[in-house]
Amino acid sequence: MQSKAKQVVILGTGGTIAGTAAQAADTVGYRAAQLGIASLVEAIPGLLACPLETEQVAQVDSKDMGFSVWQALARRIAHHLAREEVAGIVVTHGTDTLEETGYLLQRLLAPAKPVVLTAAMRPASALQADGPQNLLDAVLVAREPGARGVLALLAGAVHSAAEVRKSHTYRLDAFCSGDAGPLAYVEAGQLRRLRDWPQGEALGLQAVAADVADWPWVEIVSSHSGADGRAVRALTRIGVQGLVVTATGNGTVHEDLEAALLEAQAAGVRVWRSTRCAEGRVLPRPDDMLPAAQAGTPYKARVELLLQLLSARGA
């Protein structure tokens, strides 16, 4: 029997969708995270008849996203998901780190109701702001019967948060899902689904219950022409606990950098290989000395490694 719940909770965290500029024509020199979530919702006539609640969880430019916001956001989402009358949740977020937040939330919560992250590439003050339509579409998806999982809605495309990535610096259609493609599209107020909703086993909030000051230190390093191991050796000396290397091709690493990464691994640092390629994942080989990350991008791999280290502490 499908739920008759219709309430949608919209959680604000800031970002460009809440940004403003001195001039309406300025879509670059704006300040993110200036408007509250209630004022964003009130400016969209199509939401006035919807049963909504709004809550301001944070007010940050997502380039400055931190562990404390992640922790607070995960807790508030879990709280509202447990309410019988809530059909789904929308989270307004900046585009810069949306893929990291989305991946974290899916791994922690794997919700049976939809949690839809949405954002904007232009500030709210722009002549043709994209935020209002994205927010309207996100609420539609959050109320969709049978929808589930952590999703991302941008420019009419619905992505799995575990797969989505920012793929363009400026255009409105700035997100993709690599090889997998979108889950669905919102077209003229109707949802056209292409694939099944995300599934998964939730790690649970206990995975991120520790004080954020005690979360493991995981960094990303890069393999490229002329790479060497100095940065890795320095990070190892000062206590890094995990390293994701953004490797070339199918996880190949410059020999000098690889030597330092193997030293770090021998010293107890967890080391994973990802790839700088826009699509695909690293395919492991039997003779690999450094394990391949299974998450799709180096940034998602970093979140996954962070969660694994946190979970290992609680085991």
Q: Which region, left, alpha or beta, applies to residue 174 given φ > 0 means left and ψ of -120 to 50 means alpha?
A: alpha
What is the rounded CA–CA span in Å between residue 215 and residue 85?
34
> Under a CB-based contact definition with an 8 Å cutoff, are residues 30 and 24 in contact?
no
Of the listed 13, 16, 54, 236, which one is catalytic?
A: 16
> Under a CB-based contact definition with an 8 Å cutoff, are residues 281 and 162 in contact?
no
What is the rounded CA–CA span in Å between residue 110 and residue 200?
5
Q: Which helix (H) or strand (E) holds 40?
A: helix 37-42
How many CB atoms within 10 Å of residue 63?
11
> Under a CB-based contact definition with an 8 Å cutoff, are residues 72 and 11 in contact?
no
Compute the half-sphere exposure of residue 187: CA atoms within 13 Å on the CB side of its CA. 5
Full strand arrangement of the beta sheet holding 149-154: 52-60, 7-14, 86-92, 114-118, 149-154, 157-160, 184-187, 190-193
Active site residue 16: yes
What is the rounded CA–CA span in Å between residue 242 and residue 235?
10
What is the rounded CA–CA span in Å between residue 154 and residue 137?
9
Indicate which residues carry an active-site annotation.
16
